[in-house]
Homo-oligomer: A and B are copies of this chain.
Amino acid sequence: MQFSSRLIEDAVNAFASLPGIGKKTALRLVLDLVQRPTEDSVQLAHAVARMRENIQHCITCGNLSDQTTCSICRDQRRDRSIICVVESIRDVMAIEETQQYRGVYHVLGGVISPIEGVGPADLNIDTLISRARDGEVEEVIMAISPTIEGDTTIFYLNKQLAEAEVQISSIARGVSFGGELEYADEVTLGRSIVARRKL
């Protein structure tokens, strides 16, 4: 691409560095911003910079948060005796959307995957073990995508949590095998939490 403006070129390259956005799409986004009020671009810029500079991982559950502790862990109406273990913040959002769950979460930050070089030490597992041992927790629900890596992770966590006196359950199959949790429809995902089974 030949740019007559360095400003446009820099903005296009910045957008094109995002996943799934090519140069043509990036140019379309930039030209759209040019045609809209300056305020829109400034707002986008501020939202991105402010988000990245202030976002943090909740020290309790690992969820992305505006503060040291996330809004779910801070919420006194949530049931702290149940922890729902998920891969990522997207899964937290998907489960919250079903409005079927009133416990708290634990975000692993991924699943164990020898092929991609992700081992237990790379995940937010140690804090989960200590949370499960603190006496307050009665149940740990595994809400992890039903893939080979997901099942491996559940198996590993199950062994690690054996000493903690907690009930371990897994969301009911209903989520199709090989599928990603975040794309399941609300009803299926909601029911699979209600109909969770003991491991």
Chain A positions near chain B (C-beta within 8 angstroms): 1-8, 10-11, 13-15, 17-21, 25, 27-34, 38, 40-55, 63-66, 70-72, 88-90, 92-93, 96-97
Contacts and interface: CB of A to CB of B under 8 A. Distances in A.
Contact of A50 (B3, B10, B40, B90): B10
B40 A49 contact: no
Total copies of this chain within the assembly: 2
A52 to B, nearest CB: 3
A190 to B, nearest CB: 13
A29 B34 contact: no
Given A27-B90, A32-B18, A4 B63 contact: yes
A78 to B, nearest CB: 11
Given A14-B43, A50-B7, A51-B41, A19 B32 contact: yes
B47 A11 contact: yes
Nearest to A97: B2
A1 B3 CA distance: 37
B4 A92 contact: yes
Pick the most buried of A31, A54, A64: most chain B CB atoms within 10 A of its CB: A64
Given A5-B70, A5-B71, A52 B28 contact: no
Nearest to A42: B49
Contacts of A1: 93, 97
A105 B90 CA distance: 47
A1 B94 CA distance: 8
Nearest to A27: B90
